[in-house]
A and B are shown apart, each in its own frame.
Chain A
């Protein structure tokens, strides 16, 4: 089991560029999440999905889009990168609604200059 994997590990973007952060899990989890972690802060929820074809906004969704075409993959899209999106991005998954534990990926450090 690879668990939750994220690519890339690091990325530098110029203002206005677009990119997709990849997230995949091999645990057959229905629930998947995207968080961002700003310096000196905890994690904030961007988007989440309770199953293939279903996505919902979290606390800080502006500037991002997601899709969930398969159970395994949950990519996060940045359309017009802004310096405020400089952060570390974590993907997480869990098996079901009553299962409390989320499994985290290793994170992607994104810098927008």
Chain B
């Protein structure tokens, strides 16, 4: 069975600090996508960053970057210079390439950015 595990239910950091959210996954697929979604209190699901498994280079989007370790099946999210607006639930998600149905979400990490 394919699973996504986020081992940190909740985290708090001071504004401007760097924080890393962990995610591990289990799959027998070789080609897939990995995502981090942000869900602020408004409940809207917002795509933060994505990684294609066939790419060795880690994805970066402004202050957000990932550390993708395919052999270890690890996909952590680093938020640099954290801001109050980063306060949200963060979900790690996985989907095999060219599959219509099988997007798997982790249980989420609730991140608090403290002023």
Contacts and interface: CB of A to CB of B under 8 A. Distances in A.
A in complex with B: yes
Contacts of B106: 42
A8 to B, nearest CB: 14
Interface stretch (B40-48, B62-70, B72-80): B40-48
Contacts of A50: 100
Contact of B45 (A45, A48, A104, A109): A104
Interface residues of A, number: 24
B103 A41 contact: no
Given A42-B108, A48-B100, 9 more contacts: A31-B100, A42-B91, A42-B104, A42-B107, A44-B105, A48-B101, A100-B33, A106-B42, A106-B44
A40 interface: yes
B98 interface: yes
Interface of A: 31, 33, 40-45, 48, 50, 56, 58, 88, 90, 92, 97-98, 100-102, 104, 106-107, 109
B98 A42 contact: no
A31 B102 CA distance: 13
A57 B45 CA distance: 22
A98 B107 contact: no
